[in-house]
Amino acid sequence: KKTFQGPFKACHEVVKPGDFYRNCLYDVCIGDGARRILCQVLEAYAATCKKQGAVVHDWRTPSGC
């Protein structure tokens, strides 16, 4: 999110990441840093981006999902 680079770069103009980011931060903190929660949020963002026609590159490898 910070540099708007990476696998979701093309999506940020189509689907704003702010709400996804805040929800992810909250859910991961509540879940004591659970990676599965992070992966679920990233998967939801990727799916939303793809539905809106944005290209999403491999996000699973860099995130460890």
With 0.85 as the threshold, say if the pTM is over it.
no
| pLDDT on residue 22 | 87
Residue ranges of domains in the chain: 8-58
Enter the tokens of residue 12: 């940020």
For residue 49, give the nearest of 4, 7, 1 by alpha carbon: 7
Helix (H) or strand (E) segment spanning residue 24: helix 18-30
> Does pLDDT of 1 surpass 70?
no
pLDDT at res. 4: 60
* Chain position carrying tokens 């805040």: 22
22-63 pLDDT per residue, tens: 888 888 888 777 888 889 889 999 999 999 999 999 999 988
C-alpha dihedral, 59 to 7 to 51 to 22, nearest 10°? 80
